[in-house]
Structure 1
Amino acid sequence: MAMRREAFLDHVRDRGEYDTPREAERAARVVLALLGAHLVGEVRARLAARLPEDFALILLNPLQSAEPLSPERFVRATAAWIEGATEQTAAWDVSAVLSTVADAAGDDLLREVLLQLPAGYDLLFGHPEPA
């Protein structure tokens, strides 16, 4: 069942402590566009099905990425796409969005998503893997 758009943005806004829904939406759009480039096939489709429709479409039509980005480079890329962002604010943006995506996905699907990503993304999603 897809998370409702308002609920999704409310979660992102709370976690990112944004002043406006627009800031939360901007962060969500950038982070999901970058995330979509890293996921393929059925896992990406199933994750999209759990997101509000306009965000699902962003995930399914991502920015092209020549190679999988490490978590650090993912944060840097996010900073590059958000006007006025620093690496610190971008890390906050990524965490606010991906922790909300993790909630929407649920544990089983999140595990499959993490298998498609370079090591270290579990921390960005707010779900550190046990050592």
Structure 2
Amino acid sequence: MTLRWEAFLDEVRERGEYDTVQEAERAARTVLALLGAHLVGDVRAELAARLPETMALILLNPLQAAEPLGPERFVRATAAWIEGATEATALWDIGAVLSTVAEAAGDDLTARVLLQLPPGYDLLFGRPTAGERP
């Protein structure tokens, strides 16, 4: 089931405790643009199909990553793209967006997404791997 644009942003806004929908949208656009550069093939297409059209297009036309970013570098890259962000606020933004994405994707697709990413992204999605302590 595809989330509607407003429902997606409302969920990100609530999870991120943002004051405005614009803040939630800025975080979502940045995080999805960076995430899309790390996903390929059917997994990226299936994930896009479960997101609102605007967010799906961002995921499908990502910023190009020269190499896969580990979770720490993903946080730093997000902070660099969001004006006034720090690594701590970027981590908050990532958590708000990726936990919403994981909920829209469901457990099976989220697990397949995580297989395409470097180790450690499970924490960014709010899905710590069983048996691993942060």
TM-score range, shorter chain: over 0.9
The residue number in structure 2 matching 1:32 is 32
> SS at the partner of 1:102?
helix
Residue by residue over 1:71-117, the C-alpha shift from the partner in whole angstroms, topping out at 9 and shown as x without a partner, is: 01001000000000000000000000000000000000000000000
**What's the TM-score once normalised by structure 2's chain length?**
0.97
In structure 1, what is the Cα distance between the partners aligned to 2:15 and 2:89? 12
For the residue of structure 2 that corresponds to 1:119, the secondary structure is coil
Consecutive unaligned residues of structure 1, counting only runs of 5 or more, are none
Percent identity over the alignment? 79
Tell whether 2:116 aligns with 1:116.
yes
Q: What residue number does 1:77 align with? A: 77
Alignment-derived partner of residue 54 in structure 2: 54
Could you list the runs of 4 or more consecutive aligned residues of structure 1 that deviate by over 3 angstroms after TM superposition? none
C-alpha separation between the residues in 2 aligned to 1:44 and 1:100? Answer: 16
Unaligned runs of 5+ in 2: none
User: 1:20 Cα deviation (Å)?
Assistant: 0.3
- Residue 38 of structure 1 deviates from its aligned partner by 0.2
Query: What's the TM-score once normalised by structure 1's chain length?
Result: 0.99
* 1:4 has 2:4 as partner: yes
Alpha-carbon RMSD across the aligned residues, in angstroms, is 0.5
Secondary structure at the counterpart of residue 33 of structure 1: helix
AA paired with 2:87?
E
Residue matched to 1:93 = 93
Q: For each residue in 1:30-58, what CA deviation from the matched residue of structure 2 results, as whole angstroms up to 9, or x when unmatched? A: 00000000000000000000000000000
Deviation, 1:9, is 0.4
Distance 1:53 1:68 in 2: 25
